[in-house]
Structure 1
Amino acid sequence: MQQQLYLPVINSLENLFKSKKDYDVIIQAGEDNDQKEIFAHSNILRYQSDYFDTAFSDNRVKRKDGKYFFEKPNISPYIFEIIIRHLYCGQLNLNVMNGPDILKLLVATEELGLDRVLSEYIQEFLIEDQNKFSQDDCIELLKIVFQHGTFTILEDYCLKTICQVPAILFGTDKILSLPAQILELLLKRDDLALDEIELWNNLVRWAHAQQPTVNKDPSKWTKDELILMEKMLLNFIPLIRFHNISSEEYYNKILPYDDLLPKKLRNEILKSYLVTNVEQIGLLPSRFSFDVNVNSVLINATHLSLFTGWIDKDDEALQIIPYKFNLIFRASRDGYKASVFHEKCNNEGSIIILGKIRGTNQIVGGYKPFYWEGPGVYKYTRDSFVFFFNDYRYIDTGKIGKLIDEDLTLICNGRWMPIFGKDLAMQLNGYKWTSSPYAYPNLNIPNNFEIDDYEVFQVIKNN
């Protein structure tokens, strides 16, 4: 009923916007061939926008024949008309706009001092509609929003995405042109899912890119080159968690740059390698808000955080991991025979099994919450699931298949590797797997494939 009352008011304002009757504002939006005059009413603009209110109040606007004249060459007519229409009648359809134009709209809302709620709405739309921007766009998107201190929702999303999927930035040439302030923000975060030595390697690459005249061999640096690199890395070195770097990695990768480290820090690092029970160097903890050591050649801690969410029936990755994931079997280490698998994995309680499909970046696997035992025994539970990563480097490509037919949950057979219903079955030799969706949803896992390697983790709830 209430909607019927305010709709006529909105329609009247929209008609006023369309008709331009009694307008007293002329806005020249855009420039060159993309310039257009937009007509509006000063009373509506000044009460809807801090920018226009200030401009009218301070008499900073050109006025002639009773009309105000604005020149806004940096905002296109297309974007400006969308904004003016919204100011009149509250309408805004982002679904018909492409990602770059939505971003331009967002920037314009800040410049024109529009309502903060509108800015937050646009930011949340960009985050929710993954078709507007891909993960790979996050870096360029972050560079843009970082210039605007008010786009905190979008900035935090971009930072979090890069932390969860560091491969879109680290190890690529994109990092070489990354602004120092953004790199510093990333290194400060505890949820950056990258080995610490890889962060150091990328930091060195970035520093050399900023100072291309400095010799790539630190043993040949002049005094001036050393001073230059010290200034370049002054704010970054304290952000490296050296306690998560092994002595071997330190010797091979960091020791050549040892002169860049403050003397106190070098002594702390040396102490950590020579004295037992030194768990932390500096004030920063290990990355992630949990202490987890991932003994895997296939996955990292971000995968474990996602598995934790799936086990706890939450589709999101969790920042706290309340489980221990103990590696009990690795095919490349222990062999591909079914007998060895059962020797190591039977009666070990809840386990997660995952394998990398040969010649791809795809990972498949499954979870079972009970002991693996018995010849040809069927096991039933609602808590089992299978999963598939189209590209294991990108955590958001992971899909879970929750059980839909409890009668075909799992088959325990000493002659075979694990069998999750009919959906995921590892054959006698262990490196040939099959998939036939039945008891679990179809995740587009290949029907027949071979495995490069696979691992089994015992899952234990922390006390």
Structure 2
Amino acid sequence: MSFSFFDKLSQDYSELLNDKKEYNVVIEVDKEENKKSFTSHSVVLRYRSTYFTKEIENIATNENHVKTIHKPNISTQIFETILKYVYSGIVNIENIETKIIYELMIVANELEFEELSEKLESYLVESKASWLRTYFSRVYHSIFDSNRCNEFKYLKRFYNDIITKHPNLIFESEDFTSLQEAALISILEKNNLQLEEIKIWDYVIKWGIAQNSSFPKNLEEWSEENFKTLKTTLQQCLPLIRYFHISEKDIWEKLKPYRNILSMQLWDDLNQKIIFPNQPVKSLVLPERIISNPELPQRINERISTIINEEHIAEISSWIDRKSTIYSLTNIPYKLQLILRGSKDGFQPKTFWNMCNGHAGTVVIAKVAGTDEILGGYNPLAWDNSKTQETYMKTNDSFIFSLKNGNIQNSILSRVKNKSCALYYYGSDKQKTFGPCFGGSEFLLQSNVSEFTKDKRCLCLFLNHLGFDFYEKSIRKTNAGFSIIDYEVFKIAKK
């Protein structure tokens, strides 16, 4: 029989960290006024990290037999956490910003504390997926390095899945143009990138122009030198575009203005393909990207919905089919396919527009904070995030609803009354504030701080006194704004 006393061992080693009597290593971190020195023991550092083994061997001792390591790129806060882990094996991330946890993972990886780095990486993927999506470019930029292919494998797998299924989350992110070239190339190389080729071209041009801030804003003012510079900037990206799978219209409208950055042979071959489609060309013809069905599979080991149950699904299904009675649970003709869930994918309005773009026949479900209310709406049309100006969308088949739940004893169905104003699609400049909107805000998710759970700006207005009754009835008893605790968007598909 053996007895383990790891807690006491950890506590004693923690005390050793504060013992200034026999230290022989000083580690200086951070810069300028934040610079701080930490004392440590070479024997502990060497046995805990191969990085410090190499560092200590290559540094000479001073007259006091002390070695000094300089790490100005590591913040004091991060290194304090690292040293506590080194001596005690404990890392407490409770109440720490996700950004700091991420930076801690990067530093742990740099200092070759594999156990800690992998644990933090796993935590971020499992618990902070929303943050990882929001700051895609920043994180992807940091972890992407083809020479370190075995590192950050969980994050790379996580992002590869996003890149394939939801490329708009990358290309339309605020910091897309700061993406390093190698990372952009890795995205363009994907055969199953779920995006039209002409849109990929547009984003590549946008990225290239952003790397050359001195270019004139008006393309007509560009000089020959501007085009040469852009061609040089994009020399690794341009060969990855699937040119021969772009429509004739887009070739003339989108490629022709930039034909000077293409080789003469490629431009001639594109023209030849239009006039003589069956004739072989000299340029390399890459295969067309594999665009799969946009329907998203249900995630493994996950309930269809965390907000509604089977009875609710039966009720919504009967409303879609305009049935006078509710479908039985064994006779529901539809299945729900999850597109996004706020608690996993984030509550930013822009996330809604990016992830739901192109999906038709969807239902939005929201759980109101502080009440038992479950609100929602059905949209038979495809969501569209490409509009430059907001516009009403016309349909006779949309509806909004409140579902029975807890203290809410009866469901409310409200069908569209003014089909010309069934839905309101916001322009790209307002998609950071406004999410899905049915009618004249009769069901609207919005937030002035880009977080549906924060500032009670969501609405279910019924403005009958102003004549704006776009739906039959109100689905709430108040016009007061509210926040939500979660929301989901599903595609409705036939079983």
- Class of the TM-score when normalised by the shorter of the 2 chains: 0.5 to 0.7
Q: Contact 2:334 / 2:493 at 8 angstroms: preserved in 1? A: no
| 1:61-108 deviation per Cα after TM superposition (whole angstroms, max 9, x unaligned) | 433334333333332332222112211221112334222322332332
CA offsets per residue over residues 352-395 of structure 1, 9 Å max, x none? xxxxxxxxxxxx99997xxx799858452478444685764343
Residue 251 of structure 1 and its aligned partner are, at CA, apart by 1.9
Alignment pair present for 1:435 and 2:401: yes
Structure-to-structure mapping, 1:4-403, within 5 angstroms: 4-20=4-20, 22-58=22-58, 60-112=59-111, 114-130=112-128, 133=131, 135-146=133-144, 149=148, 150-158=151-159, 160-171=161-172, 174-213=175-214, 223-266=224-267, 268-270=269-271, 272-273=273-274, 282=284, 284-288=286-290, 291-292=292-293, 301=294, 304=295, 306=296, 308-309=297-298, 378-379=327-328, 380-381=330-331, 384-386=334-336, 392-395=352-355
User: Distance in 2 between the 1:258 and 1:53 partners?
Assistant: 55
The percent identity for this pair of structures is 21
Shift of 1:110: 3.5
CA separation in 1, counterparts of 2:181 and 2:399? Answer: 46
How far did 1:44 drift?
0.8
Give the secondary structure class of the aligned counterpart of 2:236: coil
Question: Which residue identity does 1:129 align to in structure 2?
Answer: S
Alpha-carbon contact 2:171-2:203 (below 8 Å) kept: yes
Residue equivalent to 2:475? none
Q: Quote the Cα distance in structure 1 between the aligned partners of 2:61 and 2:314.
A: 68
- State the secondary structure of the residue aligned to 1:235: coil
Check conservation: 2:132, 2:139, Cα contact below 8 A.
no
Structure 2 CA distance for aligned equivalents of residues 31 and 424 of structure 1? 53
The answer to whether the 8 Å contact 1:431/1:452 transfers is: no
Report if aligned partners of 1:24, 1:39 keep a CA contact under 8 Å in 2: yes
Residue by residue over 1:27-63, the C-alpha shift from the partner in whole angstroms, topping out at 9 and shown as x without a partner, is 33334332333222211111112232123323x1433
CA RMSD after TM alignment: 4.9
- Amino acid aligned to 2:140: L
Mapped partners of 1:90, 1:449: distance in 2: 59
Deviation of the 1:137 alpha carbon = 1.6
Contact 2:363 2:376 in 1 (8 A): no
In structure 2, what is the equivalent of residue 332 of structure 1? none
State the match for 1:360 in structure 2: none
- Asked if structure 2 preserves the Cα contact closer than 8 Å seen for 1:423 and 1:435, the reply is yes
**Structure 1 residues 63-72 or 232-241, which shifts more?**
63-72
Shift of 1:223: 4.7
How far did 1:225 drift?
A: 4.0
Structure 2 alignment gaps of length 5 or more: 305-312, 341-348, 366-374, 381-394, 417-421, 425-437, 439-490
How many Å separate the matches in 2 of 1:366 and 1:275?
A: 55
Q: CA deviation at 1:426?
A: 9.4
User: What are the ranges of 5 or more consecutive residues in structure 1 without an aligned counterpart?
Assistant: 293-300, 317-363, 403-421
Q: What is the CA–CA distance in structure 2 between the aligned matches of 1:5 and 1:396, rounded to whole Å?
A: 53
Structure 1 position 452 matched with structure 2 position 423: yes
Taking the aligned partners of 1:16 and 1:7, their CA distance within structure 2 comes to 14
How many angstroms apart in 1 are the aligned matches of 2:262 and 2:331? 55
**Cα drift, residue 197 of structure 1:** 1.3
Number of corresponding residues: 373
SS of equivalent residue, structure 1 residue 63: coil
Q: Is this contact kept in 2: 1:367–1:385, CA < 8 A? A: no
Q: Please, what TM-score do these two structures have when normalized by structure 2?
A: 0.60
Contact 1:34-1:77 within 8 A present in 2 as well:
yes
Once the two structures are overlaid, the 10-residue window that deviates more, 376-385 or 19-28, is 376-385
1:92 and 1:136 mapped to 2: Cα distance?
A: 25
